[in-house]
Amino acid sequence: MNNDLKDLQKLLDKRRRLANAASIISYDLETICPKKGMSYESDTLTMLSSEMFKISSSKEFKDLIVKLYKEKDSLEYLDRVYVEKEYKDYLKEKNITPELNLKATNIYNEAFVKWIDAKNKKDFSLFAPYLKKVVDVSKELMNTRENKLSNMYDNFIDDFEEGFTTKDLDKFFADLKAGILELLARIKTSKHVIRSDFLTRFVPIYKQEEFSNYLLETNGFDFSRGAITTTEHPFTDDIGKDDVRVTTHYFTNLFISNIFSVIHEGGHAIFAQQQTDELFKHNLDNKMSMGMHESVSRFYENIIGRSKEYIHLIYPKFHELFKEELGDVSENELYEGVNLVTPSLVRTEADEVTYCIHIIIRYEIEKELINNNLDVNKVPELWNKKYQEYLGVSPKDDKEGCLQDVHWCSGFGYFPSYAIGNAYNSMYFEKMNKEIDVKKIISEGKMNEIISWLKENTFKKSNILNDKEWLKDLTGESLSASSFIKYLDVKYSDIYKI
């Protein structure tokens, strides 16, 4: 092995150990740590993060990266890929002074505190000056980049969905919006009534817990290398080697929230669990993009989880376990109920059809903030106008409007990934359907065959190629909204009989 690589590996191993400790603590904070113990435990997390930063920002580390990048053609393939990725990050970060780094961190932290306050008081004007600071410092950071892209918003996209540009996304989102709004208009004309009374019935948590385990087991989550616990806002954490944690939140009067949360997070987890030891050895685990990750979680949540075949698969267990509470709900009523389309105000509660409209609104606004100097004070007005125009609904206050998401406290470019994930998965779902009989496989519960296909096709190069390359390699096509629109159209035309 190359000696520089050996030296680098020592630093990476140390950083990884610290990252593992930090992950466990961060997970603990989100799941079990008692309220009053959080402050002390957070400081321990800060100590570990600072030890990690010391390694990454050390002269020794940086010199090795530069040196290895120069020698990259002599490295074996996976090491070269890793060095290229690390070098790209190095170029992004090399001109960030410790002062600027600290300034940004302080602005993000302050914005978070002010956001909570503004949200509680339902008053965006309290948050506006801090959002302005976040916009400014985020752009200031981008301006220091050695490998800066000329269209400012492209830099933000590059951090989440590498390879794509604002031009790509403008086209994608325009098509997506047109397609969804057209479908939505048709759905509104439907006379078909979907039964929804049972969706808010009381279901005790211990039964929901049993169902969560059943769903994860059914979908192929490996419990010997993972666990499920509860939290406030569900997430999945790839803690360390052979250890992926799924979390959920139980509502006694909204059982489907847990069901689709578990299926969604379980999707992230199954993706994480299929990464090989070889990737880990070459420091290439967890290099997939946000959009790739969301494509898998949304594939499980929507394309599989909300399909007729999957409802058919899980209905017997559902019926048996919830006999007392939901014994009168038929298989078809359950299928239709979990696919009810209702334009609404809150992104995280949106249905499969309208979800992307929430993302498009955020995309359009954040692009204005970054590229066209939109006055932050105009955000609520613009937000409300777009919600009325696209979805026909208007928030009664900023809390259920433009203050609902935490994301803008720490930067931009994250939201698009959610919608891009839907485009990715409907594109590779078309390919999957040509190669295996997905409907039959789901009906029969042979979910490992789905995993095998995803592993061989979707997952294989996700840690190696950037988004644009990966999508081309996987589907032979470029990013487009058409597969997703087609998928929605077929499914909802059937459900709503339109």
Which residue ranges make up the site for a copy of itself (CB under 8 A)? 17, 20-21, 24-25, 27-28, 32-37, 39-41, 43-44, 47-48, 204-206, 223-227, 229, 239-243, 245
Task: Give CA–CA dist 474/431, Å, rounded.
Answer: 9
Sequential DSSP letters for 327-378: TT--HHHHHHHTT-----S-GGG--TTTHHHHHHHHHHHHHHHHHS---GGG
Spatial distance between the Cα atoms of 346 and 378, rounded to a whole number of angstroms: 20
Nearer to a copy of itself, 32 or 490 (CB): 32
- Smaller CB distance to a copy of itself: residue 161 or 265? 265
| Cβ distance to a copy of itself smaller for residue 22 or 495 | 22
Nearer to a copy of itself, 43 or 73 (CB): 43
Catalytic residue, from 30, 86, 161, 265: name it: 265
Element (H, E) at 101: helix 98-120
Give min distance, CB of 43 to a copy of itself, in A.
Answer: 7
- The residues, ordered by sequence, that sit 6+ positions from 441 with a Cβ below 8 Å of its Cβ are 447, 449, 450
Minimum CB separation from a copy of itself for residue 357, in Å? Answer: 38
| Residue number with CB closer to a copy of itself (4 or 222) | 222
Minimum distance from CB of 82 to a copy of itself (Å)? 20
Kindly tell me which of 269 and 485 has the beta carbon lying closer to a copy of itself.
269
* CA–CA gap between residue 482 and residue 424 (Å, rounded): 11
Residue with Cβ nearer a copy of itself (36 or 434): 36
Residue 150 vs residues 155, 171, 309, 327, 466: alpha-carbon distances, Å: 8, 19, 47, 59, 19
Euclidean distance between the first and the last CA atom of the chain, given in angstroms as a whole number: 63
How many CB atoms sit inside 10 A of residue 108's CB? 17
Residue 247 dihedral angles phi and psi, to the nearest 5°: -125, 155
**CB burial class (10 A; 0-12, 13-18, 19+) of residue 373?**
exposed
Whole-number minimum distance, CB 45 to a copy of itself, in Å?
8
Select 24 or 149, whichever has its Cβ closest to a copy of itself: 24
Task: Give the residue carrying structure tokens 């199954």.
Answer: 270
In angstroms, what is the minimal distance from the CB of 77 to a copy of itself? Answer: 25
CB 47 → a copy of itself: shortest distance, Å? 5
One DSSP character per residue, 405-468 reads -SGGGS-SS-HHHHHHHHHHHHHHHHHHHHHS-HHHHHHTT-HHHHHHHHIIIIITTTTTS-HH
Nearer Cβ to a copy of itself (38/256): 38
- Least Cβ distance, residue 288 to a copy of itself (angstroms): 20
Residue 301: C-alpha distances to residues 30, 151, 224, 298, 366 (Å): 23, 34, 23, 5, 27
For the bound state, the minimum distance from the C-beta of residue 228 to a copy of itself, rounded and expressed in Å, comes to 9
| C-alpha Rg value of the chain to the nearest Å | 23
Tokens describing residue 26: 């961060």
**HSE-up of 359 (CA within 13 Å, CB side)?**
28
The CB-of-207 to a copy of itself minimum distance in angstroms stands at: 9
CA proximity to 89, closest of 159, 154, 140: 159
Please tell me the distance from the alpha carbon of residue 275 to that of residue 455, in angstroms, as a whole number. Answer: 9
Distance of alpha carbon 314 from its chain centroid, rounded?
25
**C-beta neighbour count of 194 within 10 angstroms:** 16
Contacts of 278 (CB under 8 A, 6+ apart): 78
| Annotated catalytic residue 265 | yes
Measured CA to CA in angstroms, residue 4 lies from 17, 18, 71, 165, 333 at distances of 20, 22, 10, 35, 62
Catalytic residues: 265
